[in-house]
Amino acid sequence: MQPYGLTVDKFLDHAAKWFHDREVVGAEAGQVRARATYAELRERSNRMSGALAALGMNQGDRVATLAWNTPHHFELYYAAMGIGLVCHTLNPRLTVAHLAAMIDEAEDRVLAVAADLVPLASELVAACRSIDHVVVLDSPAFDIAAVGRADIGLWGHDALLDAHGAEVVWGEFDENLPAGLCYTSGTTGSPKGVVYTHRSNYLHTLRALQADAIALTARDVLLLAVPMFHANGWGLPFAAPAAGTKLVLPGRVIDGASLARLIRDEDVTVAVGVQTVWLALADHVEATGIDLPSLKRVVIGGSTCPDALMRRLEDKLGAEVQTSWGMTELSPVGTIAAPGTTDPARGSGRPPIGLDLKLTDTDGATLPEQRGVQGHLKVKGASVIDRYFRAESDALDEEGYFDTGDLATIDAAGNLTICGRGKDLIKSGGEWINPNEIETIVGTHPAVRHVAVIGRLDAKWGERPVLIVESDGKADARVLLDLLCGKVADWWIPDRVAEIAAMPLAASGKIDKNRLRADYEAGKIAAVAMGR
């Protein structure tokens, strides 16, 4: 067989050759700002590779991006990876201290930043001596004085392309070289770096494109509402060109009205993002009475979607909801409910080929029975982390499986259901309470938009559960607790309930329980004691 390196530049090469007139659309606040074909973007990305090389970037050097879902960000993905640079995506919603620590650890040399994030970039440049160049994306107008180090090379994206853009050869390196770097969300601990190789990204793309997975085709129009700075944008900046799918990038503003306009104007068939995004869209559809006839599927992930919310999304959007589960450490797709699956008990679906799962006990021993029991979830595959960035040892057990930190069950049909994080378990009176089970039951109430259970310190029991909900204002605390009666042990039932205006969310869309615990302990969340 021919040697054929599994490098990600081949996805854009393929799209440019065989789907040359399919578009990548860039928008802001629901208004289209840019259109380019895959052929045009391939040419621009390749020339940007030459520009990065002209800045002195060498194979293995890291290019940081601090940006939204835009065509320029898409171009930087391929421009960096195409010549063996590492694309380090940064989350703009983190603090300067967190971002600076990541940049310092990665030793990023180029920082590509959205124009509206130049003030944040200036703080990072002042704190991070490894940065040699700043490239401003998406806008020709930016404040040069805002980037305050005299020794920094400062470029507008198109100006850099005009000055130093040159055609180069892509992909002439080993497929096992690093392609991307992304840090975990840090909702349950300190963020850690995950390095993706070209080979792992390539195989992950093939896994995501399977018919029982995300299943994109050349006839689809994909709205990518999951941030490109979060775990490769769920791998879809690779999967879309690989399938010849038209790609719609919504920019920073992803409110319901903006997304509805894009879906209608661009005939979007598949939309991908965390459930909070689609809840806002459903609210807008309900308030305005509009319909979205082109939309066929909505793929959600980030956190468990309550049954009531899933039913509401399908009813209001007129589209099938595909649930999924994944992690930054998995590149990130883990399991996904197959398109056309109607069983409400499908959980987050099965793993596509290329990923294996197993359940263990608390000591790491593989459970003799894997179906219908709860255990600690471990995973193995070509797109699963071996070790964290800069770590001295790997993160795998003796059989090569990675411990996700999740508790899970696998049903008779092979569908995975996440039952909570091991770190979220509450120990009350020496016995364990699983918050996820409580959240799943309370989440069936139609008034509940988001639900979380955290532990509070208790002098008698050690810890007791607190139920926190975000609702439409019609959720009665006693009714919510009554839902639990007979379904969980009486002593599991929370004795304090709080309703808050908005649940704190990480950029991944997961509920930030660290923030909830801190706010509760600081007295920022008022909980009502519920006697029984």
In terms of C-beta distances under 8 Å and separation of at least 24 residues, what long-range contacts does 388-393 make, across chains too?
388/192, 388/193, 388/194, 389/105, 389/106, 389/181, 389/192, 389/193, 389/194, 389/195, 390/105, 390/193, 391/192
How far apart are alpha carbons 225 and 302 in whole angstroms? 12
Burial class (CB in 10 A: 0-12, 13-18, 19+), 402: buried
Q: Which residues are catalytic?
A: 184, 329, 427, 432
CA dist., res. 301 & res. 330, Å (int): 13
Query: 290 Cβ partners below 8 Å, 6+ apart?
Result: 260, 264, 284
Distance between CA atoms of 202 and 179, rounded to whole angstroms? 10
| Separation of alpha carbons 142 and 109, rounded Å | 21
Q: Is the peptide bond before 332 cis (omega within 30 degrees of 0)?
A: yes
Measured distance CA(24)–CA(246) in Å, rounded: 6
Q: Which residues contact 3 (CB under 8 A, 6 or more apart)?
A: none
Q: Could you tell me where the beta strands, DSSP code E, fall in 429-517?
A: 431-433, 448-458, 462-471, 496-499
Q: How far is CA 65 from CA 40, 352, 389, in A?
A: 21, 30, 18
Q: 134: which residues sit within 8 A by CB, 6+ positions away?
A: 110, 111, 112, 113, 121, 125, 147, 152, 153, 154, 155
From residue 47, alpha-carbon distances to 73, 352, 436 in Å are 15, 36, 49
